[in-house]
Amino acid sequence: MAVVAAGLLLAVGACTADPGAEADGTAVDTAALPDQSLRELAGDRLAVGVAVSGGGHRGKRAQEPITADPLYRALVGQQFSSLTPENQLKWTYLRPDEQTFDFDGADAVVDFAEEHGQRVRGHTLMWHSNVPAWLEGGDHSADQIRDLLHEHVTTVVGRYAGRIEQWDVVNEVFDDAGNLRSAENLWIRELGPEVIADMFRWAHEADPDAVLFVNDYNVESAGPKSDAYYDLVRDLLAEGVPVGGFGVQGHLSVEYRFPTDVAENLQRFADLGLTVAITEADVRVPVGADGPSDADLALQAEYYERLLEACLDVEACTSFTVWGLGDAYSWVPSVFDGEGAALLFDEELAPKPAFDALVEVLEAN
Ligand code: XIL
């Protein structure tokens, strides 16, 4: 552990010295917490992040675990140095109607992060999915859509300026063949591909210090999709557009081979001058009536280990975020039939072999 990490560690220590103590007096069984902390092991080399549950496939709830579940809160505080609201900053959640911004869910995450000395990744300002029905089914003119988008970026990024360090400004704009999702993505369809550059300019105006990312899945390896990002980013940079990061989501499955060129692929984006990150890691496994097999959980651990190692191999890879704390919160079973158990902690929030594997990687680095 480098000496320069001492300040951070002290801060971490101050926050997690008594992870069992809850502000409302609810005690957490500290025996349920791991002895090791990913955030402490990673020190200042790497932010270890987690998506904080809220909205999305679980629906909007009055009480989310980040405010209501003491063990969830204790683990998120103890283990992670970066938080991403899983859905709370997406259009459908934030914009119940055209006039309203509902910041409650995102505020809860950002407040928690501040109380626990954690960074925040903002996800996401433009995505073809999660467009509210009032907009997708509405009859707005292109000018009105452009005004709405500009207002959205300015309001949301502006509200969290200085508190949200990185933004996934555009999410999943290419399909797997490397074509822009021009039909599927309302924003690109109505406003043209130039809106991508505008998004970065608007976000930068609202918070000049935020690092502004493109983010996608199936871009772990070189191939048509990540090549499309490479060309896009290179061209944007040549035009002086303030793009600053390349986010690789990292949704993996043990049923596919592990992508062996992750580090190499991240490095070519780093060579453009970008910060790079693993932003949504999970590794899904087949789940039958008896749950996941031990063999698959061991293979899952190996995939997590290799993904983290790939990030650590690249100096510009400064964060590694998992897409949810425990298997009860994961989006995987709602989307991938017969698969699940994709996260570091199980349904009861007990650590899995994948957690131990990440501890080992961090201890060795
Ligand atoms: C998912 C959430 O986890 C679900 O709760 C929600 O219902 C749909 O979105 N890529 C992304 C994330 O960029 O925003 C997605 O999150 C998972 C895939």
Quick check: 115 and 79 in contact, CB under 8 A?
A: no
Please write the tens of the pLDDT for every residue from 26-83: 667 777 799 999 999 999 999 999 999 999 999 999 899 999 999 999 999 999 999 9
Residue with CA closest to ligand 1 atom 9:
56
Q: Is 250 in the pocket of ligand 1 (CB under 6 A)?
A: no
pLDDT above 70 coverage of the chain, percent = 93
Q: Which helix (H) or strand (E) holds 221?
A: none
Quick check: 322 and 281 in contact, CB under 8 A?
A: yes
Segment 286-311 shows an average pLDDT of 98
Q: 129 CA to middle of ligand 1, Å?
A: 9
pLDDT confidence band for 214 (50 / 70 / 90) = very high
Which residues does 340 contact at the CB level (< 8 Å), separation at least 6? 284, 285, 287, 292, 327, 330, 332, 333
Q: 50 CA to middle of ligand 1, Å?
A: 13
Please write the tens of the pLDDT for every residue from 173-213: 999 999 999 999 999 999 999 999 999 999 999 999 999 99
pLDDT at position 30, please?
A: 73
pLDDT at position 155, please?
A: 98
Q: Is 86 in the pocket of ligand 1 (CB under 6 A)?
A: yes
Report whether pLDDT(302) > 80. Answer: yes
Please write the tens of the pLDDT for every residue from 106-127: 999 999 999 999 999 999 999 9
Query: What is the chain's mean pLDDT, rounded?
Result: 93
Answer yes or no: pTM beyond 0.85.
yes
Q: Which helix (H) or strand (E) holds 317?
A: strand 317-322
pLDDT at position 2, please?
A: 33
Q: Which helix (H) or strand (E) holds 91?
A: helix 91-94
Indicate if the alpha-carbon torsion angle 197, 199, 202, 205 is positive or negative.
Answer: negative
Report whether pLDDT(19) > 70. Answer: no
Q: Is 118 in the pocket of ligand 1 (CB under 6 A)?
A: no
Active site residues: 172, 280
Q: Which helix (H) or strand (E) holds 24?
A: none
Q: 87 CA to middle of ligand 1, Å?
A: 7
- Which atom of ligand 1 has the smallest separation from the CA of 331? 3
From residue 7, alpha-carbon distances to 3, 12, 74, 127 in Å are: 9, 9, 21, 37
